[in-house]
Amino acid sequence: MGSRSAGTIDDPGAVSSDCTVAHSGSCSVKINNPRSYNEFEQSVTVGPGVYTFSAFIKMQSLGNSNSALRICLQNIPNYQYQICTGDAYGTAAWQQLTATPIYVSATATLTWQVNCDAPSALPTGTAWIDDAQLVPQQSPVSIFMLYPNYRGMIFSDQSQTAKFDVTVAPPLAAAYWGTTP
């Protein structure tokens, strides 16, 4: 589906790999007492389409409604858009955070980042992130009307047969990010 980069740790004092806690596989990204706005990021290059981003987060005494973590996906280096998941805080078992729809009009590099929602009041506590993925939303069938070509109107003095171009799309693969920094 696309090429992905290794993860970038923006705050090595707060971010680490934890091979004792994982949603699936053997390790997750652990963020303990975040100390900056942007904690961790990873990029992938994708083609045009509509996508859904998701990742799993587990939390232990993480912040509050005024001070939380969220995961944002943006088009870097163009910064044409940014879409974020909802805020995550408190104590909870693994839960899935999603951001959708993500429209990509041309080949682009998308970067997901773990951000602090309120950088002036950084959350305390611990979060684990695992199984981040960008999944293309597939339209199984694409239909284009070839005739009649004027607003879909059939005139009495022309052919009464409508013609369509129908394309059945093959299954698409998801881009999985390894969440071990």
* Matching residue, tokens 């729809």: 101
Please give the distance of CA 17 from its chain centroid, rounded to a whole number: 20
Let me know: does 67 contact 117? Beta carbons within 8 Å: yes
Per-residue CA distances from 34 to 8, 39, 60, 88 (Å): 15, 7, 13, 13
Q: Which residue has the tokens 């979060």?
A: 127
Task: For residue 32, tell me if it sits in a domain.
Answer: yes
Q: In this predicted structure, what is the pLDDT of residue 3?
A: 47
Task: Say if 152 falls within a structural domain.
Answer: no
Q: What is the pLDDT of residue 12?
A: 65
Average pLDDT for consecutive 10-residue bins of the chain (181 residues)? 55 81 90 76 84 92 85 74 86 93 82 76 87 83 76 78 80 54 42
Structural domain harbouring 36: 8-138+172-176
- Give the pLDDT of residue 92: 95
Instruction: Report the alpha-carbon angle 135-12-54, nearest 5.
Output: 15
The pTM score is: 0.72
Q: What is the CATH number of the domain that holds 69?
A: 2.60.120.260
Has residue 120 been placed in a domain? yes
Structure tokens at 127: 């979060």
Query: Are the C-beta atoms of residues 133 and 54 closer than 8 Å to each other?
Result: yes
In a domain, 158, yes or no: no
